[in-house]
Each structure stands twice: as C-alpha cells, then as structure tokens.
Amino acid sequence: MSQPTSAAPSRKKTTFSLLVLAALTGIIVLLFKDHWAEITAALSQLSAWQVLVVLAIGLSYPLLEGCVAWVIVRSRIPGFRLRQGIDTAWCGTFGNVVTLGAGAVPVQTWYLHRCGLPVGPGVGLMTLQYVFHKTTVLLYATVMLLLQHRWLAANTTGVMNYLPMAYAVVAAIIVVLVLVCGAELFTGNSLMICALKSKKITLAQMLKAWVVVWGGNFVGALFIVFLVYMAGIYKLNGEAVANSMVSVAAGKVTIDWVTIFFRGILCNIFVCLAVWIGTAGKTVVDKVVGILLPIAAFVACGFEHCVANMYFLPMGAVMHACGYGAEVAGADALNVAGIAFNLSAATLGNIVGGAVLIALGYWFIYAKKSEA
C-alpha cells in the first residue's frame, strides 16, 4: 500500500518539472522569435567539436559552482554531499533565469533549508559564495585591465568610471583579512580610544600602540612596493601601468593640506564603522558581508586613507624616479617632502574621524546607556 503513495508525489514532481521546462522553452522561443535566422546562421558557422566545447564549458560552470557550494556548506552540514552541492548550483542557475538574474540566493537558500540548514546561515553561506565568485571575476578583470588598459579606454564609453567601485571590493577584502587573521591596521586602531575612556589601557599604552602599528604598516607598505617593483608589474600594458601609478600618486600630493585632512576624517569614519561591524560579527560570513558597504563607500568617494597612501605614494615616487610619468602634472612633488605632506594630513584626519567622531561617539552613547 505504501508504494503507490510514494509514487504519486514522484509523478507529480516529474509532471511539474516538465511543465516548468515547457514554459521556459516557450518563453525563450517567444523572446528570440525574431532572431532565429541570425542564431541559426551563427550556429551553422561552428563545427561539431566547437559546439561540444561550448557545451562542455557551459556545463562545467554549474559543476564548479557546485563544488564550491559543497565545500562551503559542509562547514555547517558535515553530511552534505557533492551531488547536493551541484543541485545547489543548478538551483541558483534556475533562480537567475526565472528572475532575470536576481533569484539565485533565495532559491539556493530554500534548497539548503530543505537539506536541514536554517535560513539565516543559508543566506550567509550563499552570499559568501557570491562574494567569492565576484572576487574571482574581479581578479580576471584586473589582469585584463593591466594588459589591455589602452584598448579598453579607447573602445569603451564610461567603463573606466566604474573601476573605483570594483576595486572597493579589494579594499574590503584587505580589511576582512585584517579582522579575521588578527593583523593590526592603524586606522582601525583609532577605536582604542574606547578602551582608554573605559580605563582599560593608559594613554601611554594607546599612543605606543598607535606609533608601533603606524610604523609597522609603513614598513609593510614599503615591502609591498619592493615586491611589486621586483615583479615588474609596472611594465604591463606597454608600461602604461607605471604612468598610472605616477598619476594616482601625483593627484594625492598636489591637493591642499586641509582638503586631505577632511578627506581623511571622512575616510576613517567609514573604515571604523566597517571595523565596528566586523568586530560585532560572530562568524566570518557576518564580518565579510558587514564590511563591504562602508569600505566600498570610502573608496568610491576618493577619501584619503593613510595606510593605503603609504603604498601609493612611494610606489609613484619610485616610478617617477625610474623616468615614468614625466608629463604628469605634479609628478615632481613625489618626493620625501610630498609624501610626508600627504601622510601628515591623512593620518591626523584619520585619527579625528576614527577616534573622535566614531570611537568617542559610540563610547558616549553606550557609557550613558550602561549608567542608566
């Protein structure tokens, strides 16, 4: 008696799947009904093996996405199988198709919930997978940009204007690595003023930590400059990368001190908010997702971050000393005095934005709340 009962839902599921497939096929036919001649003409130019290669590449994408989902979800469901990971990837593909690109995470979360994963962790893990995917795309895009910068600028309209937002992701990744791996960042350490006001540390201890971390960040930035120089990154795209390095650095030393100072204030407001959110997060997913928006905001707005400038300015100075960027306005200001000029304003602005406006502001709010 139990066999017909179990077979009925299976038949219903199969029928529903076939109806959905037929509906999607009909939608595709209607959308492309005026272009079938062009499509068939393009396909007729391909050989059989080329078609097979394209199909293989197309099928490999959900398989690889499934492997990523399998690895990520196993951290919460040890018994999660590879086949279920691949099913998760196909669910994401289905969600994207039926919603025109916006439904992957909800559909994947629904499937993982059926596999026993609560909705909250499911959304977090699928969002983390999405971040990994976009970061990979960003890395490929960076290589393309370095190799084809001139072609991209000459043959596209407005694309270069969106690059700051793309590289905001890189800045967010750096902050995530700092928080998750336990490194020290001077701008984030502005929040130590909370510990000072709570009498957990002394003024001397805080200032010592600031000086040591600032110096350590500077030495680390100079080491990165050395690595980039020795790796010959500046020679990419016909040495246009070197000229871009000089241009970026010159733009930071030719603005007035007060402007740099206030940009530094605004910068560390966002950075310290990101650190505050990241510290409040209980899992790696919480930290990653919480950090993204504040970091993206400060990078997109072009604010001044003293630790980032510890790399940009010496890198530009080294490139200018090697003879690059001679035609860039303000490139002659890329010297020790120019670097000190920018870092002094950016550092003080970062301290005011992080320590005074964010740390003291939150300390005042929570101190009053605890007293009440």
By the 8 A CB rule, do 70 and 85 touch? yes
At a CB cut-off of 8 Å and minimum separation 6, what does 354 contact?
187, 188, 190, 191, 268, 269, 271, 272
- Determine the Cα–Cα distance for residues 367 and 194; give it in Å rounded to an integer: 10
- Determine the Cα–Cα distance for residues 342 and 310; give it in Å rounded to an integer: 10
- Determine the Cα–Cα distance for residues 164 and 286; give it in Å rounded to an integer: 24
Q: Residue 161 belongs to what H/E stretch?
A: none
Most confident of 17-21, 23-27, 114-118: 114-118
Per-domain boundaries in the chain: 41-147, 171-371
Q: What is the DSSP letter of 359?
A: I
Residue 298 exposed, middle or buried by CB count within 10 Å (0-12, 13-18, 19+) = buried
For 171-371, CATH number out of 3.40.50.720, 3.40.50.1220, 1.20.1080.10, 3.90.1110.10 equals: 1.20.1080.10
- Determine the Cα–Cα distance for residues 97 and 115; give it in Å rounded to an integer: 23
Residue 293 exposed, middle or buried by CB count within 10 Å (0-12, 13-18, 19+) = middle
Write down the residue that tokens 């499934």 correspond to.
66
Q: Give per-residue pLDDT as tens, 134-150.
A: 767 766 666 666 666 66
- Determine the Cα–Cα distance for residues 20 and 85; give it in Å rounded to an integer: 22
pLDDT of residue 352: 94
Q: How many CB atoms lie within 10 A of CB 35?
A: 10
In this predicted structure, the answer to whether residue 243 has a pLDDT above a threshold of 90 is no
The two structure tokens encoding residue 141: 């895009």
Tell me the whole-structure pTM to 2 decimals: 0.57
By the 8 A CB rule, do 353 and 269 touch? yes
Chain length of the chain: 372
Burial per residue of 173-196, b for 16 or more beta-carbon CB atoms within 10 angstroms, e otherwise: bbbbebbeeeeebbbbbbbbbbbb
In this predicted structure, the answer to whether residue 5 has a pLDDT above a threshold of 90 is no
- Determine the Cα–Cα distance for residues 87 and 298; give it in Å rounded to an integer: 38
pLDDT of residue 164: 57
Q: Which of 159-173, 278-292, 301-315 is predicted with the least confidence, judged by mean pLDDT?
A: 159-173
Q: Give per-residue pLDDT as tens, 252-261.
A: 999 999 999 9
By the 8 A CB rule, do 281 and 368 touch? no
Write down the residue that tokens 């916006």 correspond to.
102
- Determine the Cα–Cα distance for residues 23 and 121; give it in Å rounded to an integer: 32
